Structure 1
Amino acid sequence: MGDCSPDTDISILHDPQPGSQSSPIVEDGPELPHFDEAISTKRYCEIALWLSYFISVSAIACSIWLLAAEGGLIIAFLPDNVAQGVAGVGLVGELLPLVFNLLIAGCTEAVSYIHAVSLRWALYREGRLEFNSNLRLFTSAKSSRTNTRSVNFFSAACLIVCYTAASQILIGRRTSILFNGIALLMLGIGLLSLSIVSTMCLRDTTNTIIAWSPSPLNTTLACLNHDIIVHHRGRGMLAVDARYLLAQSSKPRRRQCAMNTVYPATRYIIYFQYGVVALCAVLAIIILVLIRILNTNGVPTYAFFADDNGTTQLYLDSGNSDPSLYPLWLFCTFLFAVVPQAFFVMALHGAELLVTVARDEATWREAAGRHGPGRGAMVADGALKSAAKSWLWLALLLYKPVSSWLLTSQGIKFEIQQSTSSVVFNPIPLFALTGLLILLVAFEEWLVRRRIGGPQPATYGHLQTLADLVDDWGPSNIGVDERKLWWGSKGFDQMGDALVGTSVKKEDVGEIDFNWRYK
C-alpha cells in the first residue's frame, strides 16, 4: 500500500473543489490552443440518429400493417414450403435475433452517446463536471431539460424495452421463421422515444454542446479555454488521489492507485453486478427445479436450443393455438422478459462507465514517452476512432447483445407447437448467461482494482488533475488532428528542482528517475 500514497505531507489540504480558481498558485503560461469541436463526430451521430428514426418508424408501421392485414401480430418470414428446403433453418431462426440485436445495439449506442455528451456539458455549466465520464442514467443536471431525473428514468425504461424487444422480434421454428409484431411495436416505440430525447439534446439551446470528442484531454482543454479550470504549478507528479493536497514536489510511484480508490461509484456498480449474478443463478435454478417437479417422466434433455423432441423447458400453455390469442401471449412473453432485462441493462450501463473510465486513463497513458506505449496521446480523438482503438469498448459492445439474446430470446421466449402457443422458460441459456455474468464481474473486479505500473500519475479522466499534469499543450499552429502530447522529465528549474510535464515533441521529455522528487 506504500505506493498508493504520494511521498507528501497529507496533513496539508487545499480547497476540495476540483477546478477551484482560489488556489494561490496559478500559472500564467502561453496562450492555449483551441480545442477540437469534433464536428465530424456530431455528423456521425446525426446520421445514426436518422437511421434510428427510420428503423423505429418502419418497425411501428410494419407492426400496424401486420395487425390490420393479417388479423394478428405474427407472420412467416419464410414460407413453410420454402423453409423446408433450407438446411438448418431452425438454427438460423435461433441465431437471427442475435444479428438483429447487434444492429439495435449500434443504434442505441449512438443515441445514448448524444445523451452522454449532453450531460457532460450540462454538468460543465453547473460547475459539477469533475470526471470526463459519468454514470449517464444516474446523474441528473437541472440546467438541461434532457438530463433531468425524469428524462433519465424515461431513457432507462426505453433502453430496457429496446433490448428486450430486439431479442424477441424473430421467432425460429423448425420449418419457418416468424415475425413477432408485439416486439416490433415495442422496439419502434422504445427506439423512437430514445431518438426524440437525443434530438432534444441536439436542439437544446440552453445546453449547447461545446465539443463532441470523447477524449478527456480535449475536454480538459475546452474547460481551460473557458476558464472553468486552471493549471496549478507544482503538481506535476500528483495523481488524482492526491487532488486535495497542496502543490508540492513528490517522488514518482512505481504503481498507481486503483480506479475504485478515486471513483466511488465503481464500488456500487460492482456490488450491483454481484446481485444480478445471484438473480440470474436463482432464476435458472428455480426454473430447473420446477421442471423436475412438474415433469414426472424426468428431464428429456439439456439441449441449448429447442427442438421437436422437447428440451429442459417450463411451458405456460394457452391450451389452444387460436391465432387471435397470439398477441396476448406475445405480450405476456415480453412482460416476463422485461423485468429481469431491467436488471441486466442497468448492470451493463454500470459496466459501460467502468470501460469508459479505463479508456480515459488509457488515452492519457499513451503520453508516456519513455515508460508505456509511447505513441503519444492524441488531444483530439473522434468517437468512432476512440471506440475502435479500445478493445474494452468493442468487447462490451459485443457482450451487450449476446447477453440480451441469451435472456430474452433463449431463456424466456414464445413458441408455437402443433396445438398450443406457449411462453417458454429454458434454464440452460440462463445458466450460460450466469457464467457470462461471472466472467464480466471478475473482469470488472480486475479493472477497478488494477494498479497500473509506471511513474506517470493516474487521472482516470479527472479533468483538474489532467489540467495540472499537462503544462504544455503546444503552439496554436498545430492542427487539432496532429496535436500529440508526450509526458516525462523536463530537466531542472533555476532552483535545482526536477521538473516533469508534457510537450508536443517527444525529444523534449526524458527518462523519469524514481529517486528524484518532481514538481
Structure 2
Amino acid sequence: MSVHDRQLIGGPRKPSPVQGTLYQAHSSARLVLAGVSIVMAALLIWASLIIWNGYATSSGTSWSFLPHTSRTPSTDLYFFVDEKEEVLSEPRLFAALLFTLAIQTFLTVGTHCAELQVILSRDEAIWRSIGTVKGSAPRLSTFSSAVGTWQSAVLMCFKPLLHWIYGLAMFVDYTSGIYMFAPQITYLWSLWVLFMSFIWFVSCQSPTGYLPATYGHLKTMIDLVDEWHPRMFWGDKNTELNGVRQAGTAADKLLPIDPDALYGGGHYQSYI
C-alpha cells in the first residue's frame, strides 16, 4: 500500500504500474506550489511596474545582461535620499540595505520552501532503487544522496543563479539611493518561471513501477520492508496463501511482480 492509500482499509489488491504524485501525497506540497506561484506573480507585477516607470523616467534603452546605471532603463528610489546631503547618511544607507534584504528574503523563503519538494522527490528516487535490478546502494552517504540525483543537481543550479540575478537587478548607490533595473528584474522573473516549472514537474510527476510510493513517509516504508539488509531488493517473494501472493524485501534479487496477481504484504499486512 502506497502513501496515497494509507487512509484506506487494507486488503489484497493488484499492483499498480504507475504510482501517485507528490502533489497527491502531501497537502503541504500544494501550499508550496501556491507559494512559488505567488512569488512568480509578485515578480511579474514588479517587473511590469519597473519597465513602465523605467522607460518613462530614464533615457536608458539597453537590455544587456549586465546593467549600467546610465544605459539600462531603471527606476530610482529617491525616498532614501536627503536632498540636503551629498551622500546617504548611515541610517538611510542602512534602511536602503534593509529594503533590498527584505525583497531577497522573499525570494529565499520561496526557494527554501520549494527545496522541500525537491527533497521529497529525491527521497522517492532513492527509495525506488530497491525495486531495480541493482537494489539499494548500501554505502550511500548523506552527501552523495543529497547531490547524486538530478533533482538536487537542478536545484543547486537554480538557487545561486536566482540570487545572482537579483543582485544585478538591485543596486544601492550611496548618492542616488536604490536603482531597480527593468531588464534584470525581467530576467529574474523569467528564471523564476523556469524554476517554478521545475518544482511543478517534480510535484506532479508519477513514478513508474510496481513499488508503492512513499515520499519519505516512514510508516509506509516500514510496512513495505519486511527484511532489513545493507543492500535490499523488492519484488515477489514467491509465496502464496489463499490466492494472495506476498511482495517484500530480501538481500537477494526477487521475482518480478505479477501484474495480474493479488498481493498482500506479509506479517505487517501492508498491501500493494
TM-score tier after normalising by the smaller chain length: 0.7 to 0.9
Deviations, residues 434-488 of structure 1 (Å, cap 9, x unaligned): 11111122122221111111111111111111011111113xxxxxxxx111111
CA displacement at 1:303 relative to structure 2: 2.8
Q: 1:247 Cα deviation (Å)?
A: 3.2
Q: Which runs of 5+ in 1 are unaligned?
A: 1-237, 475-482
CA distance in 1, matches of 2:258, 2:85: 77
Q: Does 1:312 find its partner at 2:73?
A: yes
For 2:241 and 2:150, locate their aligned partners in 1 and report how far apart those are by CA, in whole Å.
Answer: 44
What is the total number of aligned residue pairs between the two structures?
261
SS in structure 1 of the partner of residue 191 of structure 2: helix
Superposed counterparts of 1:87-236, under 5 Å: none
Q: How does 1:43-442 map to 2 (within 5 A)?
A: 238-295=1-58, 298-307=59-68, 309-316=70-77, 318=81, 322=86, 325=88, 327-369=90-132, 374-378=133-137, 381-407=140-166, 409-415=167-173, 420-442=175-197
What's the CA shift string for 1:272-327, capped at 9, x where partnerless?
A: 111110101111111121122224xx44322332337532122245458856x364
- The answer for the alignment partner of 1:510 in structure 2 is 255
Amino acid paired to 2:98: L
Q: Which has the higher contact order (CA 8 A, sep 6+)?
A: 2
Contact 2:3-2:212 within 8 A present in 1 as well: yes
Alpha-carbon separation, structure 2, partners of 1:248 and 1:362: 26
Quote the offset at 1:412 in angstroms. Answer: 1.3
The alpha-carbon distance between structure 1 residues 349 and 503, as it changes in their structure 2 partners (threshold 3 A), is same
Distance 1:327 1:385 in 2: 45
8 Å CA contact 2:54–2:182 kept in 1: the answer is no
Structure 2 partner of 1:497: 244
Which residue identity does 1:384 align to in structure 2? Answer: F
Q: Structure 1: which amino acid aligns with 2:163? A: S
Could you tell me the TM-score, scaled by structure 2's length? 0.87
Identity %: 27
> What is the rounded CA distance, in whole Å, between the counterparts of 2:61 and 2:13 in structure 1?
67
For residue 357 of structure 1, what is the amino acid of its counterpart? L
State whether residues 303 and 312 of structure 1, in contact with CA within 8 Å, keep that contact through their aligned partners in structure 2: no
Distance 2:114 2:69 in 1: 38
In the alignment, the residues of structure 1 paired with residue 173 and residue 237 of structure 2 have an alpha-carbon distance, to the nearest angstrom, of 68
Instruction: Give the Cα–Cα distance (whole angstroms) in 2 for the partners of residues 439 and 410 of structure 1.
Output: 18
Q: 1:376 to 1:326 in 2, by over 3 A?
A: farther
The CA distance in 2 between the partners of 1:471 and 1:380, in whole Å, is 20
